[in-house]
Amino acid sequence: MVSNTLTGAVVDTTASTPEKTMSNVAENEYQDQSVGAPLTSQDINKMAFRSLFLQASFNYERMQAGGWLYGLLPALKKIHTNKNDLSKSMKGHMGLLNTHPFLVTFVMGIILAMERSKQDVTSITNTKIAVAAPLGGIGDAMFWLTLLPICGGIGASMALQGSIMGAVFFLVLFNVVHFGLRFGLAHFAYKMGVNAIPMIKANTKKVAHAASIVGLTVIGALVATYVRLETTASITAGQAVVKVQSDVIDKLMPAFFPLMYTLLMYSLVKRGWSPLKLISLTMVFGVVGKFTGIL
């Protein structure tokens, strides 16, 4: 999405970006900068098939990250023949991700093209989030609110007349659309991404900057929507009961606690706390909060 629209504007100013915004260049960039091995149609099909397990290891901390990486693995192994690069890429893909399980192959196709062109890990992660997160709402509208009710409604009305064809009709209609989109989007996105490789390669820094802008704006939005933390506490003043969350916090700053908690976690991560420690802290916090009745 990002890369495509930028094509026209950049072509003539390739080498004119002297600024280096990357602080940890070595850790961020792949050692082997040559374009990775091309992926065959079978590779893309394999990826699309594996994308069925996007939510296999779903969890509250990284959400779909484990399943996302699972889907990309065979292609990543082919692209990164250097073991250090493969490890770098895998680490990057273990970052929090949540997207629509039906439309995910669209993101995967683009990301694999970026991996092939050896963009740095931060750009890839930013692009991944910028494309993946908005797909959630689109996919919900397409599948849960449109396709499922249509197929289910027709199937159920046939079933209520006692016909097994209801089940058959439902399964076939739903999955023709489902698999058609899943495999079609994978190929479409990968081709689109590959066509953009020369442009991305020539404008690495600029693409990275643009991806960071969109990526971090989306992360800011996601912190407000994905992190859920509300207090159930209330203050009783004589006759009046003031609910802290809905009467005070929400009026001053919605998503105040989610932001504060995220920033607290962020500062602790920066101080070198391991994610494992933070997860334990969060679990204790949640359970104690529930027992004491403030959460």
Partner 1 sequence: MEITLLQALALGILAFFAGLDLFNGLTHFHRPVVLGPLVGFILGDLQTGIITGGALELVWMGLAPLAGAQPPNVIIGTIVGTAFAITTGVDATQAIAIAVPFAVAVQMGITFLFSAMSPMMSKCDEYADNADTDGIEKVNYLAMTVLGSFYFLCAFLPIYLGAEHAKGFVEVLPEQLMAGLGVAGGMMPAVGFAVLMKIMLKNAYVPYFIIGFVAAAWLEMPVLAIALGALAIALIDFMKKTETAVVAMKEEFEDGI
Q: Is 142 exposed, middle or buried (0-12, 13-18, 19+ CB in 10 A)?
A: middle
280 binds partner 1 (CB under 8 A): yes
Residue with token string 């669209």: 106
The sign of the dihedral angle between the CA atoms of 62, 193, 30, 222 is negative
155 binds partner 1 (CB under 8 A): yes
- Out of 35, 78, 174, 201, the residue judged to bind partner 1 by CB under 8 A: 174
- Out of 59, 81, 146, 195, the residue judged to bind partner 1 by CB under 8 A: 59
274 binds partner 1 (CB under 8 A): yes
Residue with token string 């929400």: 250
Residue 81 to residue 41: CA distance in whole angstroms: 20
245 binds partner 1 (CB under 8 A): no
- Out of 38, 137, 180, 198, the residue judged to bind partner 1 by CB under 8 A: 137
Q: Give the type of residue at 266.
A: Y
Residue (36 or 215) nearer to partner 1, CB:
215
Q: Nearest approach, Cβ of 109 to partner 1 (angstroms)?
A: 18
Beta strands in 199-277 (DSSP E): 234-237, 240-243
Q: What is the CA radius of gyration of the chain?
A: 23
9 binds partner 1 (CB under 8 A): yes
26 binds partner 1 (CB under 8 A): no
77 binds partner 1 (CB under 8 A): yes
40 binds partner 1 (CB under 8 A): no
In three-state secondary structure terms, 145 is: helix
- Out of 25, 156, 176, 241, the residue judged to bind partner 1 by CB under 8 A: 156
Site for partner 1 in 98-127 (CB under 8 A): 101-102, 121-122, 125-126
In three-state secondary structure terms, 276 is: helix
Are 25 and 205 a contacting pair, CB within 8 Å?
A: no
Q: Mark 175-214 with x for binding to partner 1 (rule: CB under 8 A) and - for no binding.
A: x--x---------------------------x--xxxxxx
Q: Which residue from 52, 51, 38, 31 is spatially nearest to 121, judged by alpha carbons?
A: 31
Chain centre distance of CA 178: 20
Beta bridge partners of residue 236, listed in sequence order: 241
152 binds partner 1 (CB under 8 A): yes
Q: Which stretch binds partner 1 (CB under 8 A): 38-46, 110-118, 184-192, 262-270?
A: 262-270
Q: Nearest approach, Cβ of 132 to partner 1 (angstroms)?
A: 10
